[in-house]
Amino acid sequence: MRKPLPRLGVNIDHIATVRNARGGEHPDPVAGAWAAIQAGADGITAHLREDRRHMRDDDMVRLQQLCESENIPLNMEMAATEEMRDIALRLKPKAVCIVPERREERTTEGGLDVAGQHNRLVPIISALNDNGSRVSLFIEAVAHQIEAAAKTEAKVVEFHTGAYAHALDDNNQDKADDILRALQEGAKHAKALGLEVHFGHGLTFDNVGPIAAIEEGMELNIGHFIIGEAIFMGLESAIKEMHRLATQARYG
C-alpha cells in the first residue's frame, strides 16, 4: 500500500548545529537521520550552507550513503553557486532544492528570485537534472515566480511557508488567511503548469494542518520544530506526531 500524502521530509540541520556548538562529533546528524528514517521520515533534508554553519561536506557524503542504503531520498538544499553545483554533481542526491542564501541571515529568508535570475539558474538546474537529481526551487507562491520556475527543467517548487508561520505567531489571523489563500492558489497554478508542489519553513504542530490540507502538496520539509521538540518528546514521537497531524489534515 502506498504511504499517505503529504510525504514528510525531516530536515536534520539543527542536529549538526548542536554538534558544532561544542565541536567534536556528538550528536551525529547522520545518526539522527537514521533515527528519523526508523521513525517514518519519508525523506531526509539537509542544507549545506556556504559557511558550513551546520552540515559539513563529510556529513553530506555519509548522509547520501545512508539514504541510498535505506532507499530514502536525500534532499540537498543549496545555494545556486558553482561550488555547491559541483558538490551536488559528485554527491548525486535524489533531490536538490535550490534556495537563496545570504551569509548574515539566520535561516532561509524569502524565496528564490527565479524570474530575476533565470539565466544564472537555468544551466545549474539543467546540470543537476541531467545528473539524476530532481530539482526543486524554493519560491514564494506568486504567479511570476511559479511561471518562471515552469520555464526551467525543475520538476518541483517548494513554497516558502515562513510568512504564514510568522503571521500566526503574531496572532495576525487575517494576514495568515491571505497568505494561506496565496499558497492554495499558487499550488493549483504550479500543478497546472506541471510542477510538483512542496511546502516548507516554520511549520509546527500548531500550524501544519492548513498547509498539509492543500491537496496539491506532495511533501512537507520540516526541521527546526521537529528537532527542537525532540528535546521534550523524543525524535521518534515528534516525527510520528507531525506525520499524524499532516495525514489527519489531509484525510480527516
Cβ-Cβ contacts under 8 Å for 164 (sequence gap 6 or more): 176, 179, 180, 183, 202, 207, 211
Q: Measured between alpha carbons, how far is 175 from 168 in angstroms, rounded to an integer? A: 8
Which listed range, 16-24, 178-186, 217-225, 237-245, lies at the site for ligand PXP (CB under 6 A)? 217-225
C-beta closer to ligand PXP: residue 13 or 216: 13
Per annotation, catalytic residue among 14, 54, 77, 189? 77
Of residues 55-74, which lie at the interface with ligand PXP (CB under 6 A)?
none
138 binds ligand PXP (CB under 6 A): yes
Q: Which of 222, 242, 245, 246 binds ligand PXP (CB under 6 A)?
A: 222
Q: What angle do CA 124, 156, 131 make, to 5 degrees?
A: 40
77 binds ligand PXP (CB under 6 A): yes
Per annotation, catalytic residue among 189, 201, 219, 229? 201
User: Active site includes 201?
Assistant: yes
Q: Positive or negative CA dihedral for 236, 68, 56, 223?
A: negative
Contact 47, 99 (CB under 8 A): yes
User: Taking CB positions, which residue lies at the least distance from ligand PXP?
Assistant: 200
Which listed range, 82-90, 122-130, 140-148, 197-205, lies at the site for ligand PXP (CB under 6 A)? 197-205
203 binds ligand PXP (CB under 6 A): yes
Residue 154 CB-density burial (10 A; 0-12 exposed, 13-18 middle, 19+ buried): buried
**CB of residue 1 to ligand PXP, shortest distance in Å:** 27
107 binds ligand PXP (CB under 6 A): yes
176 binds ligand PXP (CB under 6 A): no
According to DSSP H, which parts of 42-81 are helical?
A: 57-70
C-beta closer to ligand PXP: residue 53 or 62: 53
User: Active site includes 153?
Assistant: no
The grid cell for 247 is 495525514
Q: Measured between alpha carbons, how far is 204 from 71 in angstroms, rounded to an integer? A: 26
Q: Measured between alpha carbons, how far is 94 from 74 in angstroms, rounded to an integer? A: 6
Which listed range, 28-36, 146-154, 173-181, 215-223, lies at the site for ligand PXP (CB under 6 A)? 215-223
Contact 61, 93 (CB under 8 A): no
Per CB under 6 A, residues contacting ligand PXP are 11, 13, 47, 77, 97, 99, 107-108, 138, 158, 200-203, 221-225
